[in-house]
Amino acid sequence: MYKTPCSRLSGVVGVSLKQLIQNVPHCNQTARCLIQLHKRDPSRWLTYQHLNFLKRQYVTKNNSELHQRAAQKAAPCPTSVEERDDNGVERRVQRIPTLDPVLTDNVSSSENITSKAPPGISTSEPYDDAAVREDSALCVVGAPKETPHVHVETDEAKEARLDRQWKQLKVDGAQLPDIYAKLAKIKLTALVVTSAAAGYAMAPVPFDPVIFVVASLGTCLASCSANSINQYFEGPFDSNMNRTKNRPLVRGQISPLHAVSFALACGVPGVALLTLAVNPLTGFLGGLNIFLYTCCYTPLKRHSIANTWVGALVGAIPPVMGWTAATGCLEPGALLMGGFLYCWQFPHFNALSWNLREDYSRGGYRMMSVTHPGMCKRVALRHSLGLIGLSTVAPALGVTTWTFPVISLPINLYISYLAFVFYRRGDRSSARKLFFCSLWHLPMLLLLALTCKKPRGGPEEAAAPALALQS
């Protein structure tokens, strides 16, 4: 009888299900054995060390204590082996460690002197051992007598040697505020919060101090979390750079697990605060910023120069978060505020990285200043000129009045001039001048934008209260 393909398929499936049902008890028994074995052996318990993203070569866990720094190689200790004698009885003996060849030669030479009879004395007859030793001493009386060298270790050398070894990590509670401030990059976090506050202030809505404080706090916590995770991932590479060699994780002031716990303690409440107390859009942007900074920008620094553009995008999101915290929606004005931060970061960071090329090269980071120096100078000049264009677009979008492009033109022209000098010369002096100019340029630009902010509802509605008072 002819069987259709469907009947063949159903037969195969039926046989497979039957075999699977027959093997279920065996699988359950095997699983129970594995679970019991896992519970019986504490060394098989799952700890944070088994998680790949928390496992690092510069930290270990031993007897519930964290130890850090590189350890000297331990001296080989004698091991015990099992041997079987002629009667078939097993016994455990210690294996004798190998001797130093120099010491072996000295011992063998001394044994030859004391064990062999001196010339003229028959080895088959007994002889006086004291006389042999005396004759042996006479044989080597002409050789210089060496005193054994005893190395005396000073206190400074001992302290330096112990500092290179593994040591127990003890965190001083009085130092934790300073450690957390370094872990969170407090100066960078302050800049992020300032830019978010500027975005909130520029939004065309009434100022709500409660929402403003909550949004600033949530942005601060999100920035602290992102910076902590960034230092956790870059700890082994920061030790190769002079600029970052004194960070807490590099110096061993705090353990990687402690740093990750601090990041979670800041990130989770920060994003939750932005989502629940402000609005979901702002919370989404806060979580997105943490993801871009830790999972995109940080690994890209060692693979591609595209990390600079991703980092500029990360820096452009905080003023957008401030705007959305005030309005609850994404408007062209929010993108304009983000554009200011996006363009400003290229002359700022490219000038900074130009004088740190050696450091970035030692750390293995692929920056434009290291791999594409010509592009580094061109990009800084291009985005400096872009600040002039964005200032002109601001009144067209209804964010500021037409006074803003005029009064912001001098500072925009000055930073563009310094970027042009940096493009032409490409030396340390021009890069330093451009970097220091960028430090005061951004606060000044945001302050001018705030003073030239367009009144809410247009000039007609702004003049309505004055007319009502006159009537």
What pLDDT score was predicted for residue 170? 65
Distance of CA 190 to the CA centre of its chain: 20
The class that CATH gives domain 332-462 is mainly alpha
Long-range contacts of 268-277 (CB under 8 A, 24+ apart): 269/221, 270/217, 270/218, 270/219, 270/220, 270/221, 270/222, 270/224, 270/225, 271/218, 271/222, 273/214, 273/217, 273/218, 273/221, 274/215, 274/218, 274/219, 274/222, 274/321, 274/325, 277/211, 277/214, 277/218
CATH 1.10.357.140 fits 177-330, yes or no: yes
Task: Give the separation between CA 139 and CA 141, rounded to whole angstroms.
Answer: 6
CA dist 193 → 136, 165, 223 (Å): 86, 41, 8
What pLDDT score was predicted for residue 89? 61
Which amino acid, one-letter code, is at 251?
A: R
What pLDDT score was predicted for residue 88? 62
CATH 1.10.357.140 placement within the chain: 177-330
Q: How many CB atoms lie within 10 A of CB 251?
A: 15
Helix (H) or strand (E) holding 179: helix 176-183
What pLDDT score was predicted for residue 243? 86
Q: What DSSP state is assigned to residue 297?
A: I
Q: Which regions of the chain are under pLDDT 50? A: 1-13, 15-18, 20-21, 23-27, 30-31, 34-35, 37-39, 42-75, 102-104, 107, 110-127, 130-134, 136-143, 458-471
CATH 1.20.120 placement within the chain: 332-462
Q: How many CB atoms lie within 10 A of CB 275?
A: 17
Task: Give the separation between CA 364 and CA 225, rounded to whole angstroms.
Answer: 24
Task: Give the separation between CA 332 and CA 402, rounded to whole angstroms.
Answer: 17
Task: Give the separation between CA 2 and CA 282, rounded to whole angstroms.
Answer: 66
CA quadruple 372, 378, 384, 388: dihedral positive or negative? negative
Question: Which residue(s) pair with 227 in the sheet?
Answer: none
61: nearest Cα among 71, 47, 51: 47
What pLDDT score was predicted for residue 312? 95
Q: How many CB atoms lie within 10 A of CB 131?
A: 12
What pLDDT score was predicted for residue 164? 62
Q: What DSSP state is assigned to residue 82?
A: E
Angle CA 186–187–191, to nearest 5: 115
Look-up: residue for tokens 């000295």? Answer: 106
Task: Give the separation between CA 266 and CA 281, rounded to whole angstroms.
Answer: 19
What pLDDT score was predicted for residue 113? 45
CB 266 within 8 A of CB 184: yes
β-pair type (90-94, 65-68) = unpaired
What pLDDT score was predicted for residue 440? 95
Task: Give the separation between CA 258 and CA 232, rounded to whole angstroms.
Answer: 10
Task: Give the separation between CA 355 and CA 426, rounded to whole angstroms.
Answer: 10
CA dist 414 → 262, 348, 419, 434 (Å): 41, 14, 9, 10
